[in-house]
Structure 1
């Protein structure tokens, strides 16, 4: 399934790409203060993560406006 989802010839290629970005964001950065998590995030990395999250939210708004 993953190979088919990443096929650039499929019409839903972009949607699948963003789906994987959202999944990765939820898995890797959603809770940095959980027990056993990575060390404290630097201010520069925090800014980058906020910019990334902002972009994902913008794309979600675009997708919702198409519904």
Structure 2
């Protein structure tokens, strides 16, 4: 089962100097490579939800701060 479509693309609201690094990410392997590189560059980094997660079951969307 694939989590992402083969033609998946992502756009980050990056500093223009970094946009070329992330706005070229597409497809499942591209995201895997991005996450792998990020984790290697930031060992031990952990995220946690801050506050209450907002859920809209009608739209199937979830939002939270982290």
Q: Higher strand fraction: Structure 1 or Structure 2?
A: 2
Common fold by TM > 0.5: no
User: TM-score when scaled to structure 1?
Assistant: 0.31
Q: Higher helix fraction: Structure 1 or Structure 2?
A: 1
User: TM-score when scaled to structure 2?
Assistant: 0.31
